[in-house]
């Protein structure tokens, strides 16, 4: 019984990190109404930025936050401004331009292959990492300290994003644009600037997730694919555009992956995850926390 409880706690912690990786994806969808297929690759870029920031300067892994978040925000901001915005302008009559999906898929392949070209296929893990293998003892249970910090980061990030959207002038402008971009434009809101900022926030969220992963996860060019697939499942489970739905959806996946192997093989665990994904699509396509309006 103690092992099931330990796996449950660690599943919740890892699931919250999954949710954090999906948070940026749901933010971008909630505002731009497009699926960013390059989100996993942007997470990968964030992991490499965090890795090199720590490896070259000797910073504590979590202090890299002050490097990674600004870099990732501006990276996302200018990807949207220079590559995606022209599509929105060219297809301004289309609410959800399919061309954007094709372009973000192209960005995914470019980022993955460019990283492979620059850094090679080698798996990298932080050396002299004070958090590697660190465990918190709670009775007979062992709880991963990096995952515990990841849980805290996920909750704080989700709460901060929620407060930003609800309480700030820019947040309200973003919500207004997500509901009706034409009406928002008539009210004086620059929809393209809003899109740039929303994309930047979504990418910066991926950067925060990258920082929580680097202390215990290998960094390599295709690492984003794993989290991309999980991210889409989580967003569908929690509800497209739902901030807290992303965290809850991630925790559900984390619990299944952590607890289910105690009772069945890993193959069946994956089957349960994808079966739940299909069930939610069939029963409640909007997701567990999906509503008529995204925000």
pLDDT in tens, 188-218: 888 889 999 999 999 999 999 999 999 999 9
Structure confidence at residue 113 (pLDDT): 95
Residue 103 maps to a domain: yes
CA–CA dist 18, 39 (Å, integer): 13
Query: Does residue 262 sit within a domain?
Result: yes
Q: Is the pLDDT of residue 179 over 90?
A: no
Q: How many CA atoms lie within 13 A of 77 on its CB side?
A: 11
Whether residue 126 lies inside any domain: the answer is yes
> Is 291 domain-assigned?
no
User: Which pLDDT value is given to residue 295?
Assistant: 44
Residue 295 lies in a domain: no
Q: 126: domain range? A: 2-283
Please report, for the domain that includes residue 58, its CATH number.
Answer: 1.10.3470
The model's pLDDT over 211-265, given as tens digits with 9 standing for 90+, comes to: 999 999 999 999 999 898 888 899 888 887 888 889 999 999 999 988 888 787 7
288: in domain: no
Residue 290 covered by a domain? no
pTM beyond 0.85: the answer is yes
Q: In total, how many domains does the chain have?
A: 1
Report residue 286's pLDDT band, with 50, 70 and 90 as the boundaries: confident
Q: How far apart are CA 209 and CA 179, in angstroms?
A: 27
Cα 64 → chain centroid: 18
Residues 6+ apart with CB under 8 A from 244: 158, 162, 238, 289
Give the residue-averaged pLDDT of 146-174. Answer: 92
């Amino acid at each position: 019984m103690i092992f099931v409880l330990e796996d449950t706690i660690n599943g919740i912690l890892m699931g919250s990190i999954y949710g954090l990786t999906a948070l940026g994806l749901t933010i971008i969808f909630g505002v731009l109404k497009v699926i960013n297929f390059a989100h996993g690759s942007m997470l990968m870029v964030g992991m490499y930025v965090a890795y090199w920031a720590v490896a070259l300067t000797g910073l504590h892994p979590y202090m890299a936050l002050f490097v990674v978040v600004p870099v990732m925000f501006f990276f996302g901001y200018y990807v949207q401004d220079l590559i995606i915005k022209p599509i929105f302008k060219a297809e301004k009559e289309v609410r959800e331009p399919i061309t954007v999906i094709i372009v973000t898929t192209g960005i995914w392949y470019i980022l993955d292959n460019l990283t492979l070209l620059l850094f090679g296929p080698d798996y990298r893990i932080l050396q002299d990492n004070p958090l590697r293998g660190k465990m918190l003892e709670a009775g007979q249970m062992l709880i991963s300290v990096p995952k515990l910090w990841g849980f805290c980061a996920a909750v704080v990030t989700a709460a901060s994003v929620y407060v930003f959207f609800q309480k700030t002038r820019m947040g309200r402008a973003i919500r207004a644009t997500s509901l009706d971009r034409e009406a928002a434009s008539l009210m004086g809101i620059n929809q393209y600037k809003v899109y740039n900022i929303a994309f930047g926030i979504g990418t910066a969220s991926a950067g925060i997730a990258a920082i929580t992963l680097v202390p215990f996860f290998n960094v390599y060019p295709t690492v984003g694919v794993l989290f991309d697939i999980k991210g889409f499942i989580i967003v569908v489970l929690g509800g497209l555009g739902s901030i807290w739905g992303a965290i809850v959806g991630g925790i559900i996946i984390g619990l299944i992956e952590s607890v289910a192997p105690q009772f069945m093989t890993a193959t069946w665990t994956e089957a349960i995850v994808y079966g739940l994904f299909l069930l939610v699509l069939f029963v409640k396509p909007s997701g567990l926390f999906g509503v008529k309006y995204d925000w």
